[in-house]
Structure 1
């Protein structure tokens, strides 16, 4: 597992920014920050869009310009489609792990200078760790199953901004 990707995720939780992109960033800033293949999915009304890079997504709203309203690192997608991490690595030099436990991520998060406090919300099959100051949530698998080609107990499902 590459420590830099885990460090980047921890930084995302602490800052609300991924590759410098956060709520309020423009589409031009997103294009400049992340140069990787993507698919844009615009809603029928043309006022919101999802930029899908595979396991990383950004959500944008149309005002005078497209602006970022949220985003997510959908780590659960890497459990069965790990080739997405290879494409991302080629574009960004960050190699994301196929599986990431909350313990590993929390250890890296705790190393941040002045990390925001996290509120724990039990959602049954998931635990949500929410950094209200940065508007980032981490969903962690809370079922009691062992990892068997799919996420197991304690594995990070996603890290979301919004």
Structure 2
């Protein structure tokens, strides 16, 4: 699978590799086959699992459950090796840069994708799919691709909890 197919599926469903908000740490351990670092907060109430350019946030309870996922695509511009490891472990290919217009074009060709609201945030533009709790951040500042993403490239794509009490 390539990044555009993967991201289109995530935006439409609010799920990645069968995981979504509320999935357990055990579910993640069974689904994601890449190296990671865990960082538990000092309070013990939250944990971040860093896979390089994929980051999962968990909240505690009877067991750890996903509260957010962020795909930090901008990190691939300067460290493409993370994408190569992800492809080996997960079978999904991410390029060094991903243009918003490519993803937007793919979304326009699928049936029943969620409507997107747009927020101008200065150096970034945010596209939100409220029905699936997905946020797409597009670089609106830096013009040329180099060790950073260029103007119009995806900065990140995030899945977030509909409840804001976390």
TM-score (norm 2): 0.92
What is the Cα deviation at residue 144 of structure 1? 5.4
The yes-or-no answer on 1:28 pairing with 2:37 is: no
Q: Is the 8 A contact 1:14 1:112 kept in 2?
A: no
Q: Distance in 2 between matches of 1:147 and 1:26?
A: 37
Query: Which of 125, 128, 131 is equivalent to 2:126?
Result: 128
Segment of structure 1 superposing worse, 126-135 or 13-22 = 13-22
The yes-or-no answer on 1:113 pairing with 2:111 is: yes
Q: Which runs of 5+ in 1 are unaligned?
A: none
Cross-structure match for 1:72: 70
Q: Is the 8 A contact 1:139 1:157 kept in 2?
A: yes
Cross-structure match for 1:62: 60
Query: Which of 86, 90, 93 is equivalent to 1:92?
Result: 90
Find runs of 4+ consecutive structure 1 residues off by over 6 angstroms: none
Q: Is the 8 A contact 1:51 1:59 kept in 2?
A: yes
Q: Distance in 2 between matches of 1:16 and 1:28?
A: 19
Q: Is the 8 A contact 1:7 1:109 kept in 2?
A: no
TM-score (norm 1): 0.95
C-alpha distance after superposition, 1:16-41 (max 9, x if no partner)? 11111110101111111111111111
